Amino acid sequence: MSVAVVVTYTAGQAVLDRCIAALRAGGGIDYIVVVDTGGTAAVSGDAIELIRMQNRGYGAAANVGFAAAVARHSAITQAPGIPATGIPAIDIALLNDDVIVQPGWMGPLTAEIRNAPTEDMVGAAQPKLIFAGTSTVNSLGVQIGPDGAGTDIGLGRPDSPGGESSGLHIFTGGAVLFSRAFLEATGGFDERYVLYYEDVDLALRGRELGWSYRLVPTSVVEHIGSLSTASAPSRTRYLQERNRLLASFRFGDRHTQRAALWLSVRRLRRAPRGAHTKALLSALWLKRGW
């Protein structure tokens, strides 16, 4: 069983409708959960659930969606007359609302998780993200620089169709398939990040527990990008800067932590200075109890 969790905020109904239509046309999805933190979303049709909640960030919304997906699966497995052995395990896909999946996208992702040797502990599989309406790569995963900054692998590169699946160190939270076991083992996203680097944190916490991830380029999704954060640039910069530091403090070695801190100090001279200053002070304060 595969469930898609779509998190929506302010991208607009037309964007959400296109995302859901693509999910239904793409195949491989048994149920859709839409988590609306903006209060304006509407859904219709079969096998879809709408959950409205206060906006507590992307990670919190995703976690609510995961719980709803698991509850749906549990209700099926516990239905009278249904043998548990006849119900497949559940995989949960997390998607931004501005993602448009391509036909057949789910099958390769599911295969990477379910057909992997048990000892590999594959907990997540990421499709190839390309910019909508182009043949340009958006993300082949995430890499962390020496100053703790996360960037999308392959960003801006011309797309090469096809390709072999490969190991992936850090997945992007914009479009990724999780196994239920992985989400239960990690507890899902750390909601304190609110937005940005919560996917880095989840991937690296999972790695500490022995989980691995796969990049599956034969699974393709298009991504419009930046629809929910473009209207609040100072807030965006604050969260990006604060969370880069927090992730560096949590997972980086001493060299990375020093470089991450020095980058933040240098950025105090740049606009928006207030956001940079607040981010640095907040990260240093939160670091004590993180």
CA separation for the pair 188, 65 (Å, rounded): 11
Per-residue confidence (pLDDT) for residue 73, from 0 to 100: 87
Statement: residue 135 has pLDDT above 80: yes
Both 217 and 269 in one domain: the answer is no
Q: Is residue 228 part of a domain?
A: no
Ranges 90-99, 171-180, 217-226: which has the least confidence: 217-226
Q: What are the C-alpha distances in Å from 186 to residues 25, 118, 189, 206, 211?
A: 31, 18, 8, 6, 10
pLDDT in tens, 30-86: 999 999 999 999 999 999 999 999 999 999 999 999 999 999 888 877 656 555 555
Write down the mean pLDDT value for the chain: 93
pTM (predicted TM-score): 0.94
Residue 289's pLDDT band, with cuts at 50, 70 and 90, is: confident
Same domain, 132 and 23: yes
Within this chain, do residues 79 and 159 fall inside the same structural domain, yes or no? yes
Do 40 and 137 lie in one domain? The reply is yes
For the segment 151-176, the average pLDDT, to the nearest whole number, is 96
Tokens representing 65 are 């969606």
Q: Please check whether residues 102 and 128 belong to one and the same domain.
A: yes
Residues near 13 by Cβ (< 8 Å), separated by ≥ 6? 40, 41, 42
Same domain assignment for residues 159 and 219: yes
Residue 225's pLDDT band, with cuts at 50, 70 and 90, is confident
pLDDT value at residue 233? 85
* Structural domain of 274: 233-287
CATH of the domain at 82: 3.90.550.10
Would 111 be classed as within a structural domain?
yes
178 and 247 together in one domain: no
Q: Given this model, what pLDDT does residue 231 score?
A: 57
Indicate whether 267 pLDDT > 80: yes
> Quick one: pLDDT at residue 247?
98
Domain boundary among 223, 241, 259: 223
Say whether both 65 and 200 belong to one domain.
yes
Task: Report how many domains make up the chain.
Answer: 2
